[in-house]
């Protein structure tokens, strides 16, 4: 049984993780933390996440949470990650970090900690998306030349960044497989204005529609055939399940910095 503490437990990802525990065998939620000003402190985290009671109350006692666990899952805010990492280091506990947006100093603190702790750190924890990264690289390597590559990404209308980080990563994987420099090969079609596929380029088309959580399709086409690889996310649970799987995996690893490709053996 892997004992897990969740930091940022009342946030969108934290709540998705709390809801996902019941569908994963071999894991136990032992603690859940939030900022000391959070109004949910002292409440059952299952109830806060809109599911059944867990018996675990939301707390701001990070040290007690980490001590009770084998591993800490962190989905907080970039400024909180250094302190959480230092506490994990002090207690000798593994970590899974999903939090993004760390600056250079914060990143160095995490990297330094991996000399003594095993840490999985990945900007996209979805098992399906990480599998897609590996598949499109393999497809690009096999198809090699003569195919037009397009990446279509669709997200909800509130999304600020365009193209999505996942679309960019998919493009990097395709470029690796084709032996291209991604930055010079990538063309972004943000508004559907691009009519003709520029020769030898990887085109990313961004679409913003309703409340779509995240769809990505990578296609390879020529005059004879078209091959498409699609991933559709219905909810944040797809990311939460990846984080829990990473937590189960990381507890028995040597110190080091790992990503989801390592967790999935890709």
The site for ligand NAD (CB under 6 A) is made up of: 7-8, 10-14, 33-35, 38, 75-77, 80, 98-101, 122-125, 239
CB of 167 to ligand NAD, least distance (A): 15
CB of 19 to ligand NAD, least distance (A): 13
Closer residue to ligand NAD, CB minimum distance, 165 or 255: 165
State yes or no: is 112 an active-site residue.
no
At residue 38, the 3 state secondary structure works out as coil
Closer residue to ligand NAD, CB minimum distance, 8 or 177: 8
Closer residue to ligand NAD, CB minimum distance, 13 or 139: 13
Beta pairing partners, 195: none
Query: Which strand (E) or helix (H) includes residue 50?
Result: none
CA distances from 124 to 41, 99, 102 (A): 28, 10, 14
CB of 79 to ligand NAD, least distance (A): 7
Residue nearest to ligand NAD (CB): 11
Residue 259 DSSP code: -
CB of 54 to ligand NAD, least distance (A): 17
State yes or no: is 155 an active-site residue.
yes
**How far from the centroid of its chain's Cα atoms is residue 159's Cα?**
16
Closer residue to ligand NAD, CB minimum distance, 77 or 182: 77
How far is it, in rounded angstroms, from Cα 27 to Cα 5?
Answer: 11
Residue from 43, 159, 188, 207 carrying the catalytic annotation:
159
User: Where do runs of H (alpha helix) occur along the chain?
Assistant: 12-20, 45-48, 62-68, 81-91, 104-113, 127-143, 165-178, 182-185, 237-250, 260-263
How far apart, in Å, do the first and last CA atoms of the chain sit? 25
- What is the phi/psi pair of residue 48, to 5°? -60, -30
Residue from 137, 155, 216, 231 carrying the catalytic annotation:
155
Residues assigned a catalytic role = 155, 159
């Amino acid at each position: 049984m892997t004992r897990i503490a969740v930091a940022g437990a009342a946030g969108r990802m934290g709540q998705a993780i709390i809801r996902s525990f019941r569908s994963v065998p071999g894991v136990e939620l032992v603690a859940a933390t939030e900022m000391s000003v959070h109004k949910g402190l002292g409440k059952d985290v299952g109830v806060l996440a809109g599911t059944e009671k867990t018996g675990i109350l939301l707390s701001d006692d990070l040290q007690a949470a980490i001590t009770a666990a084998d591993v800490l899952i962190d989905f907080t805010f970039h400024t909180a990650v250094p302190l959480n990492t230092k506490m994990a280091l002090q207690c000798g506990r593994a970590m899974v970090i999903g939090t993004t947006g760390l600056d250079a100093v914060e990143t160095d603190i995490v990297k330094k900690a991996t000399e003594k702790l095993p840490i999985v750190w990945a900007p996209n924890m979805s098992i399906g998306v990480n599998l897609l990264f590996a598949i499109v690289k393999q497809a690009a390597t096999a198809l090699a030349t003569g195919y037009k590559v397009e990446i279509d990404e669709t997200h909800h209308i509130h999304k600020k960044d365009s193209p999505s980080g996942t679309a960019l990563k998919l493009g990097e994987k395709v470029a690796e497989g084709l032996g291209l420099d991604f930055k010079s090969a990538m063309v972004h079609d943000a508004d559907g204005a691009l009519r003709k596929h520029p020769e030898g380029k990887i085109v990313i088309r961004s679409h913003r529609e309703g409340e779509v959580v995240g769809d990505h399709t990578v296609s390879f086409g020529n005059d004879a055939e078209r091959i498409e690889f699609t991933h559709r996310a219905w909810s944040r649970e797809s990311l939460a399940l990846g984080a829990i799987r990473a937590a189960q995996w990381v507890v028995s690893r040597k110190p080091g910095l790992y990503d989801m490709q390592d967790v999935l053996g890709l």
